């Protein structure tokens, strides 16, 4: 990365963000805003430092739920997409179903699942994450698998290649960039749903439950500290999926046919 590119891509947003924090601090201090309305960045920072151990532990719990649910969702979505691309009937059946499931709000799903499983189980939250992650990956992967260059299809036909060869050699590699577009969307959703699912009961060891309990104890600065951790977790997931995408599509033209 050249110096000017570094300045533009990294330095500029960092300076802008720092400036916003300073403005926020000055605003809270000068106008004497009460802590329950808007805690100052310094108060949130103090809470972050004081609760660091628990913040890391609950981030790890939420992160594990998000990661396991995300992976399960991706695996299921890719399998379903392969079947859907292979049999148009399945695609017509699955797509509305997947859309319906994705339209089901987490707030409706999480309490029901929490009741279905024991209160000490991580499973309900992971199921919520998997369901949420499924849809974007399924939709983009189906698109990638079904968008096939007619010449590639004819070539494979001239090779007397079977349906599985076509899938393995042409469809799957061609769908990789599409798959990762879906994964990038799903990874952010995974963290959000892992955290939000904790608002509705179940095992209370993650960021979501810490945020609700701090807020209900009017410890708003502490609640914000956990929110900051949730933002950090979401960024980690997003950057990781971006990195995986770069790795998987390296050496390809950005606009491959």
Partner 1 sequence: MTGVPAVALSAVGKTFGAGKPSAVTALTGIDLTVAPGEFVSLIGPSGCGKSTLMRLVADLEQPSAGTISVFGKTAHQARLDQDYGIAFQAAGLLPWRTVRANIELPLEVHGVSRPQRRARAEELLAMVGLSDFAGHRPDQLSGGMQQRVAIARALAERPRLLLMDEPFGALDEMTRERMQGELVRLSAQTGCAVIFVTHSIPEAVYLSNRVVVMSPRPGQISAIVPIALPERTEDTREDPTFFAAVTAVREALRAPQRVGLELT
Residues that bind partner 1 (CB under 8 A): 149, 151-152, 154-161, 165, 169-170, 173-174, 176, 251-253, 256-257
Q: Looking at beta carbons only, is 158 or 216 nearer to partner 1? A: 158
Q: Looking at beta carbons only, is 60 or 152 nearer to partner 1? A: 152
Q: What is the DSSP string of 137-205?
A: HHHHHHHHHH---HHHHHHHHHTT--HHHHIIIIIHHHHHHHHHHHHHHHHHHHHHHHHHHGGGSS---
Q: Looking at beta carbons only, is 85 or 225 nearer to partner 1? A: 85
Comparing CA positions, the residue from 28, 255, 20, 245 lying closest to residue 137 is 245
Query: Cβ of residue 152: shortest distance to partner 1, in angstroms?
Result: 6
**H/E run at residue 95:** helix 88-103
CA 188 from chain center: how many Å? 2
Q: Which residues of 233-250 are buried (b: 16+ CB within 10 A; e: fewer)?
A: bbeebeeebeeebeeeee
| Rounded Cα–Cα distance for residues 51 and 2 (Å) | 38
Query: Cβ of residue 151: shortest distance to partner 1, in angstroms?
Result: 3
Q: Looking at beta carbons only, is 171 or 210 nearer to partner 1? A: 171
Query: Cβ of residue 253: shortest distance to partner 1, in angstroms?
Result: 4
Q: Looking at beta carbons only, is 50 or 149 nearer to partner 1? A: 149
What lies within 8 Å, CB to CB, of 25 at 6+ separation is 40, 41, 42
Q: Which residues of 169-187 are buried (b: 16+ CB within 10 A; e: fewer)?
A: ebbbebbebbbbbbbbbbb
Query: Cβ of residue 256: shortest distance to partner 1, in angstroms?
Result: 4
Q: Looking at beta carbons only, is 60 or 143 nearer to partner 1? A: 143
Query: Cβ of residue 236: shortest distance to partner 1, in angstroms?
Result: 28
Q: Looking at beta carbons only, is 13 or 162 nearer to partner 1? A: 162
Q: How far is CA 85 from CA 138, 143, 179, 183, 228, in A?
A: 11, 8, 13, 18, 41
Query: Cβ of residue 53: shortest distance to partner 1, in angstroms?
Result: 46
Query: Cβ of residue 183: shortest distance to partner 1, in angstroms?
Result: 17
């Amino acid at each position: 990365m050249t110096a000017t590119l570094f300045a533009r891509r990294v330095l500029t947003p960092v300076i802008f963000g720092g400036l916003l924090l300073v403005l926020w601090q000055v605003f809270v201090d000068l106008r004497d805003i009460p802590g329950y309305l808007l805690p100052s960045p310094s108060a949130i920072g103090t809470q972050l430092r004081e609760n660091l151990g628990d913040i890391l532990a609950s981030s790890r719990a939420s992160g594990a739920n998000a990661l396991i649910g995300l992976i399960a969702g991706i695996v299921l979505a890719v399998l379903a997409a392969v079947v859907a691309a292979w049999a148009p009937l399945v695609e017509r059946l699955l797509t509305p179903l997947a859309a319906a499931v994705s339209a089901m709000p987490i707030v409706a799903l999480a309490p029901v699942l929490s009741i279905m499983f024991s209160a000490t189980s991580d499973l309900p939250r992971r199921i919520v994450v998997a369901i949420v992650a499924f849809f974007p990956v399924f939709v983009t992967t189906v698109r990638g698998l079904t968008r096939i260059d007619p010449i590639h299809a004819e070539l494979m036909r001239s090779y007397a290649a079977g349906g599985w060869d076509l899938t393995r050699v042409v469809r799957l590699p061609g769908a990789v960039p599409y798959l990762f577009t879906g994964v990038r969307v799903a990874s952010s959703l995974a963290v959000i749903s892992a955290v939000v699912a904790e608002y509705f009961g179940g095992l209370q060891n993650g960021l979501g439950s810490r945020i609700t309990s701090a807020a209900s104890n009017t410890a708003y600065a502490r609640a914000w500290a956990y929110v900051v951790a949730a933002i950090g977790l979401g960024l980690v997931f997003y950057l990781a999926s971006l990195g995986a995408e770069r790795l998987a599509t390296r050496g390809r033209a950005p606009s491959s046919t």
